[in-house]
Amino acid sequence: MNNALTWFEIPALDLDRAAAFYGQVIGQQLSREQMGPTEMAVFPFDRQAGIGGCLQT
């Protein structure tokens, strides 16, 4: 597939609330990660397909 989506970021003011919402939508828990000063909630991803994303404050 040409120009397939491989990564996305969704800004969120309330990371706990957003992670709970999207976790409920997809039926899986998002993992929390800290990248420098930025806290993120990362969606489960498929390394073989190369698709992933996160919520970011």
Kindly state whether residue 25 falls inside one of the protein's structural domains: yes
pLDDT of residue 54: 84
Q: How many domains does the chain have?
A: 1
- Looking at per-residue pLDDT, the higher value among 54 and 11 belongs to 11
Whole domain around residue 23: which residue ranges?
Answer: 7-56
User: What does the longest C-alpha to C-alpha distance in the chain come to?
Assistant: 35
Helix spans in the chain (H): 15-26
pLDDT tens digits, residue range 13-57? 999 999 999 999 999 999 999 999 999 999 988 777 777 888 887
Kindly state whether residue 31 falls inside one of the protein's structural domains: yes
Kindly state whether residue 1 falls inside one of the protein's structural domains: no
pLDDT of residue 39: 92
Kindly state whether residue 35 falls inside one of the protein's structural domains: yes
pLDDT of residue 45: 82
pLDDT of residue 57: 79
In our burial notation (b when 16+ CB lie closer than 10 A, e otherwise), range 42-57 reads bbeeeeeeeeebbbbe
Q: For the whole model, what pTM was predicted? A: 0.77
